[in-house]
Amino acid sequence: MHLYHYLFVFRRISQRIHDARNLLKESTKILLILLACFVVAGIFFFSLYSGLSSSPPPISRASFFELTIANNIGERATDDPFLASLGGDVETGLQDILSSIRKAKMDDKIKGILLKPKFVGAGWGKTEEIRNALLDFKESGKPLYAYIEAVSNKEYYLASTADSIFGLGTGLMLVSGFLSEPMFLKDTFKKIGIEADFVAHGKYKSAPEVYTRGSMSDPQREVLNNLLDQFFDNLINKIADARSIPAEVMKKHVDEGFYTLDRASSYQLVDSLIYYHELKDMIKEKHGDNLRFVGLNRYKQVPFSSLGVSGDRQIAVIYGVGTIVMGSAGLNGQNDLITSEGMAADIKKAAEDDDIEAIILRVDSPGGSGTASDVIWREVVEARKVKPVIVSISDVCASGGYYISMAADTIVAHPNSIVGSIGVFAGKFSWDGLYDEIDANISKVKRGRNADFFSTSQTFTDEQKTIMRRFIMEFYQDFISKVAEGRGMTVEAVDEIAQGRVWTASDGKDIGLIDVLGDFRTAVNIAKEMVDIPEDEAVQLITYPKTKTYLEQLLAGNISVRDMTKIDLASFMIPESFHSTIHAIPHFKAGEPLFLFLNHFELN
């Protein structure tokens, strides 16, 4: 081939490459323009939606509150049409449910509640709080009906409050009690050459055992049996009482566990089998043909002021929901994170605000960073010097979650809330065996005998393990000393009930970790009493931190596609009960002591 042929071919190839580059540039521009249009459109429609929903929707003179519970339930939720349009999971806010039930009780336009529990994505603390609100609603004398199709423990636990339970004949009931199946990965890791090397203090501090043991330890089994006994007895007794069935008969039904609603009706667990639209027609016949049904999304927007309820005096409600980490205020309350700077700043702001008379910390946290917990604890101590601080516990207030709560004037919790886990652990994973398996050779050059303290190519040396134990013990002693100070106990007494053990709040009250068994309204009433506000006087609840929509988080840089991809992949690689801590993992530092309760048992 002649030289000019080569030049011709080369020019053609160069031209193709040039054309491809231009096409790629144009494609990139188009994609960016489309993305920008999508974001702008999202902002526009979100703003439009917000504007349209700013005024309360009209409620007819005769309405039934149709309360369907079919989503995960968080402490608070943000109306997020942008996330919904993307097909994302939108949580239902617990406070939206509770306040709507309270409004329905006093609203003359609401003639009753039709409850439809389809999926209760909440812990037993939140579930108990909803159940208590429904029981309180019944004191109004208005009817409460429940309709069930496929239910398990929590759904039926709520439905049992109803005056009458209706169901689909071909529906099913799986009210079978509680199962705990902790997973242990030591032998799995061994097969792939990974070894977990952790140091923990506390006989019952079982958080690292999922990685360091091949089976359940006796102390962990002791704790689980205690928890299961209490949850099981509560389930049996409360349902039996609500349905006027002897407890021993109810236990037999639960032991059988799984049956159709047709069979459940023969057990007196369902009053009538009927289709849902037939039930609604029946309610209309009884309460008027003009009756309308209003759902949660509409009714939650009706302000209390429209019912003649308003207050001038203010109480702050500061939410501490998620895993505790060191971090900036901007991340606080996002992605199941409590950041040290964010929550501490919120507490300080509320303490310095002269209009705010008391502070309620609403805590739902398994803990996290020991250092971050201490930063928040200190701000609670300072706030308590100028105004009352009350803690209201949701599902979990364990380890670091309890650390940030223990300095409060009063701690309120549901009997079924999980509390305690006063202990600490730290450690690392050695990948040395995996490196050998894949022929990855590690060469070390170091200065300082323990420069390789957190190297992933080896486990701790004997000296390093001794140093780590000393480090852990210093944090543990500081932890129990502060518990003793906050709870008015001796250090020895705290040490005896600590040891990393988790308790139900019912037990926690008996041993001094909890002051009052109750719910969020109990905490509000205690705050009122401490600042001389009459119990029947309404107050303004000023909430912190501000909730952010998915779009606001995205624009603020708190969410990236890369981060979400990593988190989604990680979700498949660890037990489901660990998922709430996934977002916190990148924030934990090497060697950081963790006051963290890993809920590796499921109470379904």
Residue that has been written with the tokens 């923990």 in this structure: 200
- Which amino acid is residue 108, in one-letter code? D
Please state, as a whole number, how many other Cβ atoms lie within 10 Å of the Cβ of residue 435: 16
User: Is beta strand 389-398 parallel, antiparallel or unpaired with respect to 418-420?
Assistant: parallel
Q: Within 13 A of 267's CA, how many CA atoms are on the CB side?
A: 23
Residue partners of 334: CB distance under 8 A and separation at least 6: 548, 553, 558
Please name the residue that has the structure tokens 């053609």: 12
> Of residues 365, 373, 399, 580, which has the active-site annotation?
399
Instruction: Assess whether the previous peptide bond of 545 is cis (omega < 30° from 0).
Output: yes
Distances (CA, A) of 120 to 252, 384, 530: 24, 36, 34
The whole-angstrom separation of Cα 300 and Cα 304 is 10
Per-residue tokens: 369: 């960073």
Give the three-state DSSP class for 1: coil
The tokens 């009756």 sit on which residue? 291
What whole-number distance in Å separates Cα of residue 318 and Cα of residue 502? 24
148, 258, 282, 316, 582 from 170: Cα distances, Å: 11, 13, 20, 48, 39
Instruction: Tell me the torsion sign for CA atoms 346, 352, 356, 361.
Output: positive
Cβ neighbour number for residue 404 with a 10 Å cutoff: 32
Distance CA 505, CA 515 (A): 9
CA-to-CA distance for 417 and 412, rounded, in angstroms?
10
d(CA 357, CA 160): 38
| Catalytic residue check, 100 | no
Any idea which residue has 């041993």 for tokens? 511
Contact 277, 320 (CB under 8 A): no
| Active site residue ranges | 399
